[in-house]
Amino acid sequence: MKKFVFFGMVAAFVMTMGSCGGGNQQPQQAVEEEPDSVENYMPFDQTLYGLCGNGTAMNTLQLLTDNGDTLNLNLTNAQENGQVFGGLQVGDRMAVLPNKDKTEALIVINQNTLLGDWVMPNPIDGSSEVGIRIKEGGVAESIDQSSIIYKTWKIFNGKLEILSQREGGGDMEEVNLYEILLLGADSLVYKTSGVEKQDEETFEYSRWKEKPAMDLHGLQLEDGSDEFRIDH
C-alpha cells in the first residue's frame, strides 16, 4: 500500500514539472498556415521594358532595360513565329517577353507603334467609327462610344491588358487580356485571350486619319476649305 502511494506521488510530481515547462523542453507551438490570398495565385509579369538600342541588328534586339541592363536578345524564333510587332526602331520603347535565361526574345512589342488612335467601323451599323485611344503612361480612352469606357492598358506577359467599364455596370471594372496578331504603322489586330474558341472575338483597327472635308453633295473640298470651288 505504501509503495502505491509513493509511486503515485512521483507520477504527480513529474506531471507537475512537465506542465511548468521544466528542464530544457520548450512548449510545442501550433504552426499556422499562411492563409490563401489573391496574390498567391497571381501570375508574375516577366515582361522586360526598355529602349531599342543602337546594337539592334537583323536577328538581334539590343534592349536597354529600365533596370539599367543591356541585353542582346536573339530574335530568330520570334521572327519565325510572327511575334515581332511594330517594328524595331532605335530609341523606341519596347516590351519584350524573354526566355528563362534572357538570351532570346519570345515576343517583342514596339510600344511607340502601339500608341495612338485606333478605329474600326461601328459593329452595329457601320455608319460611324468607334475605337480606342492608347496613350502614354498606361492611359486608355474610348473613341466615339459610350457603351464601354476604356481606362488603362499595359503589356502583361506579351499580351495587351485593357481595363474598362461598361455602361450601366455601376463601378464594376473589367480586365481583359488580348493576344496581338498584327501591329503596324496603320493596322492593329488583336483577339481575346484565354477563352474558348467559340467565344473568341477579334478586333481589327486602322490608324485614325482625319477625313477630308466634303461639301453638301459629297464632293471633296480643295485644301480643306469650307467652300466648294468651281473653276470656270
Examine the pLDDT at 146 and tell me if it is beyond 50.
yes
How many angstroms from the chain centroid is the CA of residue 103? 22
Work out the burial of residue 204: count CB atoms within 10 Å of its CB; fewer than 13 is exposed, 13-18 middle, 19 or more buried.
middle
Average pLDDT over residues 187-196: 92
Distance CA 119, CA 132 (A): 7
Span 82-90, average pLDDT: 98
* pLDDT at 26 > cutoff 60: no
pLDDT band at 167; cut points 50, 70, 90: confident
Q: How confident is the model at residue 148 (pLDDT cuts 50, 70, 90)?
A: very high
- Give the other-Cβ count within 10 Å of 203's Cβ: 16
Looking at residue 168, its pLDDT comes to: 75
Instruction: Provide the pLDDT for residue 124.
Output: 79
**3-state SS track over the chain:** CHHHHHHHHHHHHHHHHHHCCCCCCCCCCCCCCCCCCHHHHCCCCCCEEEEECCCCCCCEEEEEECCCCEEEEECHHHHHCCCEECCCCCCCEEEEEECCCCCEEEEEEEHHHHCEEEEEECCCCCCCEEEEEECHHHEEEEECCCCEEEEEEEEECCEEEEEEEECCCCCCCEEEEEEEEEECCCEEEEEECCCCHHHCCEEEEEECCCCCCECCCCCECHHHCCCCCCCC
Given pLDDT bands bounded at 50, 70 and 90, which one contains residue 188? very high
Residues linked to residue 110 through DSSP beta bridges, in sequence order: 94
Name the percent of the chain lying above pLDDT 70.
72
Q: What is the pLDDT of residues 29-61, one digit of tens each?
A: 544 444 444 445 568 999 999 999 999 999 999
| pLDDT exceeds cutoff 70 at 230 | no
144 vs 2, residue with greater confidence = 144
pLDDT at 229: 38
Read off the pLDDT of residues 6-15 as tens digits, 9 standing for 90 and up.
444 444 444 4
CA dist 59 and 57 (Å) reads 6
